[in-house]
């Protein structure tokens, strides 16, 4: 890659970081807890998010979602079926979401009316790792069908995550998935990473996810007091 491009890429990332910092401040002021969901295509992010939106609404929490894809608005329609406001971001060929796209697609929403905002990124284990969207927490998904080695091959994505969710647990046996091996590889790139296993299709593991989410949100709302 040419030096000129590296320089310009740095500029783009810097601009994104500044916009992401502004977004984070807006989210904080509105007291909305924001989660960025990242993974390969087809790990079941949308099914998981659909169920999450339903479950949170069942607890009378106010939720909304943005979902990124190169093309189609299938996922926004799937998510909207939960009753939550959901908007599609089409990147038309771009391989990741950027803070600016998020900002544009928030227009007209009063963020303080939401407890949670979920941003489902473009399915891609590489590029989204570099783009902060101002989220509070980044959750990386790994499906049992993908193989235990993915954290080692795509280290930046798992290193930048706050939680790893192993999906499609109902297929673990059929795939001869080795959980110990996967966790070892996750911890090789991020030693303290929390790991959950779920099957959104069967409802398995969702309660633990709900607990993680509530605890993370509570932490955001009560920043550590400065020792006088």
Q: Residue numbers of the site for a second copy (CB under 8 A)?
A: 1-2, 4-5, 8, 12, 40-42, 69-72, 74, 93-95, 122-127, 143, 145-147, 149-150, 152-156, 168, 170-171, 174-175
Taking phi first (over 0 means left), then psi (-120 to 50 degrees means alpha), and beta for anything else, what does residue 132 get? beta
Minimum distance from residue 147 beta carbon to a second copy (Å): 5
Q: Which is nearer to a second copy, 72 or 112 (CB)?
A: 72
What is the largest distance, in Å, between two alpha-carbon atoms of the chain? 56
Q: Which is nearer to a second copy, 136 or 168 (CB)?
A: 168
Minimum distance from residue 48 beta carbon to a second copy (Å): 13
- The SS3 assignment for 90 reads strand
Minimum distance from residue 9 beta carbon to a second copy (Å): 8
Q: Which is nearer to a second copy, 33 or 75 (CB)?
A: 75
Question: By CB neighbour count within 10 A (0-12 exposed, 13-18 middle, 19+ buried), where does 25 fall?
Answer: exposed
Q: Which is nearer to a second copy, 81 or 174 (CB)?
A: 174
Q: Which is nearer to a second copy, 55 or 75 (CB)?
A: 75
DSSP 68: E
Minimum distance from residue 140 beta carbon to a second copy (Å): 12
Question: By CB neighbour count within 10 A (0-12 exposed, 13-18 middle, 19+ buried), where does 225 fall?
Answer: exposed
Q: Which is nearer to a second copy, 40 or 137 (CB)?
A: 40
- The SS3 assignment for 185 reads helix
96 vs 126: CA distance, rounded Å:
9
Minimum distance from residue 216 beta carbon to a second copy (Å): 26
Q: ∠122-214-50 over CA atoms, to 5°?
A: 40
Q: Which is nearer to a second copy, 3 or 226 (CB)?
A: 3
Contacting residues for 94 by C-beta, under 8 A, at least 6 apart: 70, 122
Task: Identify the CA nearest to 186 among candidates 166, 208, 212, 206.
Answer: 166
């Amino acid at each position: 890659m040419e030096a000129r491009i590296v320089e310009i890429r740095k500029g783009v990332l810097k601009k994104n970081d500044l916009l992401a910092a502004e977004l984070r401040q807006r989210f904080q002021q509105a007291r909305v807890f924001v989660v960025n969901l990242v993974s390969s295509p087809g790990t079941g992010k949308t099914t998981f998010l659909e169920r999450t939106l339903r479950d949170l609404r069942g607890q009378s929490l106010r939720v909304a979602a943005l979902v990124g894809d190169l093309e189609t608005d299938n996922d926004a329609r799937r998510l909207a079926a939960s009753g939550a406001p959901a908007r599609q971001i089409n990147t038309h060929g771009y391989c990741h979401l950027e803070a600016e796209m998020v900002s544009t697609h928030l227009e007209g929403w009063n963020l303080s009316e939401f407890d949670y905002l979920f941003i489902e990124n473009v399915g891609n284990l590489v590029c989204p790792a570099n783009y902060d969207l101002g989220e509070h927490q980044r959750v990386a998904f790994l499906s049992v069908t993908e193989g235990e080695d993915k954290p080692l091959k795509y280290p930046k994505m798992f290193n930048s995550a706050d939680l790893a969710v192993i999906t499609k647990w109902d297929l673990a046996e059929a795939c001869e998935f080795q959980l110990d091996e996967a966790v070892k590889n996750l911890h090789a790139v991020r030693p303290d990473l929390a790991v959950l296993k779920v099957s959104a299709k069967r409802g398995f593991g969702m309660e633990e996810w709900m607990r993680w989410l509530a605890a993370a949100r509570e932490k955001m709302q009560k920043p550590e007091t400065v020792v006088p």
